[in-house]
Amino acid sequence: MEQIAYIFPGQGAQTIGMGKDLYDAYPEAKEVFDKANEILKFDLTKLCFEGPQEDLTNTSNSQVAILVHSIAALRILGKIAPEQFNPSFALGLSLGEYTALIASGSLTFEDGVKLVRKRGQFMQKACDKNPGKMASIIGMDPAELEKLCKGFGCEIANLNCPGQVVISGTSSSVELTTSMAKEKGAKRAILLDVAGAFHSSLMDPAKDKLEKEINEITFNPPKYPIISNVTAKPTQDPEKIKQNLITQVNTKTLLEASIKYVASQGIKTYLEIGPGIVLKGLMRRIDKSLKVMNLGTSADFASLAQPTTPPPQA
């Protein structure tokens, strides 16, 4: 059987209507969304399906919405193809690492939903306290960009794929760095539509609060290795997993290095489980030979369920 890895999306994948087709078509998805409403004590389902956009995009809501959609999709996969897809590794982009931990049995769904809701709230409060921005710099040497960041007081936030680096910091530091990056030869520098300076020291207040919450939760050894955002290495040690999640809040994420590690272990097929297709696009830039299958809509699952027709006999 072909080896695969699960990969779960991060913040930014949310859209109004997310998960509604799954909810309507699959009892497993309905059960996940209804359970999340019960845990959260508010109607997350209505927010996902109807918006408003401003509320869904708020960090305190978007993170848990993406996680719940992703787990709903995972439960459907487990129902329609229980033996077909058994991962050798799992990973996710930032918040997606929490989804990976639920998928692997390291974290219960209830604990994961509560924790990610608090994570989003803590990060939103940090954004309000320490306003900032993020920008994507395309086509510039990462080492040169890091020098610019140090000079202007911002930080590298995400190393997602070759040729693309996301920076984070105060509004003025990010604007100065993007302007200078263009002068230094960057092909493009795009300010991102995000609530604040994620994965930077401006998130220190969120990290301190999240650490207390994480240390009160039981993490089990996952059934398969989880690739950490901050180390790009696998672990099944609950204490290391907890520390990686704490460190992740105000530290850069290493998606490119993480994917390259998994690929080096012979994994060529990846299931992007949850809303959107952002990771598929990034992975094409990391390694064109990798196959990525998206599982986030009822159409995706309908395609998966269709039996392949054997070639005609000569």
Identify whether 69 is a catalytic site residue. no
Number of domains in the chain: 2
**Ranges 99-103, 144-148, 307-311: which has the least confidence:** 307-311
Q: CA-to-CA distance for 29 and 14, rounded, in angstroms?
A: 17
pLDDT at 207 over 90: yes
Residues 254 and 167 in one domain: no
Q: Which of 62, 199, 228, 258 is catalytic?
A: 199
Provide the residue type at 194 as one letter: V
pLDDT at 167 over 60: yes
pLDDT at 243 over 80: yes
Percent of the chain predicted with pLDDT > 90: 93
CB 178, CB 189: distance < 8 Å: yes
The answer to whether position 10 is within a domain reads: yes
pLDDT at 120 over 80: yes
**Ranges 46-55, 58-67, 74-83, 261-270: which has the least confidence:** 74-83
Percent of the chain predicted with pLDDT > 70: 97
Residue-number span of the structural domain to which 165 is assigned: 133-191
Confidence label for 239 from pLDDT (cuts 50, 70 and 90): very high
More confident residue, 313 or 222: 222
CB 73, CB 23: distance < 8 Å: no
pLDDT at 310 over 50: no
Residues 20 and 76 in one domain: yes
For 126-147, how does the pLDDT look when each residue is reduced to its tens digit (9 = 90+)? 999 999 999 999 999 999 999 9
Residues 64 and 113 in one domain: yes
Residues 161 and 74 in one domain: no
pLDDT at 311 over 80: no
The answer to whether position 314 is within a domain reads: no
The answer to whether position 172 is within a domain reads: yes
219 φ, ψ (degrees, to nearest 5): -110, 130
Confidence label for 7 from pLDDT (cuts 50, 70 and 90): very high
**Ranges 77-86, 90-99, 124-133: which has the least confidence:** 77-86
Q: With b meaning 16 or more CB within 10 Å and e meaning fewer, what string describes 133-144?
A: bbbbbeebeeee
The answer to whether position 313 is within a domain reads: no
Q: What is the pLDDT of residue 307?
A: 55
Q: What is the CATH number of the domain that holds 105?
A: 3.40.366.10
Q: What is the pLDDT of residue 24?
A: 98
Angle between helices 96-103 and 238-248 (to 10 degrees): 160
For 248-306, how does the pLDDT look when each residue is reduced to its tens digit (9 = 90+)? 999 999 999 999 999 999 999 999 999 999 999 999 999 999 999 999 999 999 998 76
Cα dist from 271 to 8, 92, 132, 196, whole Å: 8, 11, 33, 29
Q: Which of 60, 62, 70, 94 is catalytic?
A: 94
Q: What is the CATH number of the domain that holds 150?
A: 3.30.70.250
Residues 182 and 245 in one domain: no
pLDDT at 314 over 50: no
Provide the residue type at 211 as one letter: E
The answer to whether position 76 is within a domain reads: yes
